[in-house]
Amino acid sequence: MSLFAPGVGPALIAGFLLSLSLILAIGAQNAFVLRQGLRREHVFAVCITCAVSDAALIGLGVSGFGLISTRLPWIEPVMRYGGALFLFVYAARNLRQALRAHDALRPAETGSASLRATLLTCLALTWLNPHVYLDTVVLLGSIASQYDDHRRAFGIGAACASFLFFFALGYGARLLRPWFARPAAWRLLDGLVALVMTAIGVSLLLG
């Protein structure tokens, strides 16, 4: 796959932006990574575990939905419109969070945990969370099917977003701590997520 082939660039960018938008949503997994980063405990192990897990699920979704779409042509419009609707719902949820006041994220300051216990918690938050499958396998997989021969590029872009986000969050947590102590920071973040997801949903409807 050449990065300069027609259609590869847009697929990479779309996968990257959509995956990043989904990951940015405040959740248990992100809160855990942020907490580990703030405490400087097992940061690399936690980040690589989250990123590799996401990449595996994205690969499963991209390859699985690509195969299904070739055998069931009617599933393409269903996935396209369904994916757009799902994006709009996610955008509305983030917009609602951006418009209302809520508490800032404050990771707990508890005692140190072993590497084994930390990784088990990390894996549980990733693989036992139904929203992770919904975002990676279902949503990203369905949207990747719109890119035909460039589904792999879409998946690579999405996986790169996971690696970038988790390592940036884990190792940049101490720098972000003063900013994320304010509820206004999360409101701004939610607003940006809603904007990006709405734009991608509209582009999906327009084909």
Q: Return the exposure string of 121-136: e unless at least 16 CB atoms fall within 10 Å of the residue's CB, then b.
A: ebeebbeeeeebbebb
Burial classification of residue 95, based on how many CB atoms lie within 10 Å of its CB (0-12 exposed, 13-18 middle, 19 or more buried): middle
Q: pLDDT digits over 136-165, tens only?
A: 888 888 888 778 778 889 999 999 999 999
List the domain boundaries for the chain.
8-101+110-206
Q: pLDDT by residue (tens digit) across 30-82? A: 878 887 887 788 999 999 999 999 999 999 888 876 566 667 777 667 767 87
Measured from the Cβ of residue 93, the count of other Cβ atoms closer than 10 Å reads: 15
> pLDDT category, 101, cuts 50, 70, 90?
low
Quote the CA–CA distance of 207 and 116 in Å, as a whole number: 46
Q: Per-residue pLDDT for 110 more than 80?
A: no
Residues 167-196: what's their mean pLDDT? Answer: 81
User: In this predicted model, what pLDDT tens digit does every residue of 13-35 receive, in sequence order?
Assistant: 989 998 888 888 766 688 788 87
What pLDDT shows up at residue 120?
Answer: 92
| Count of C-beta atoms within a 10 Å radius of residue 183 | 14
Q: Give me the pLDDT at residue 102, please.
A: 56
Q: Which tops the pLDDT comparison, 82 or 123?
A: 123
**Residue 138 parent element (H or E):** none
At 54 the pLDDT is 92
- Model's pTM, two decimal places? 0.69
- Residue 66: the pLDDT is 55
pLDDT number for residue 51: 95
Residues 6+ away with beta carbon under 8 Å from 200: 14, 17, 18, 21, 87
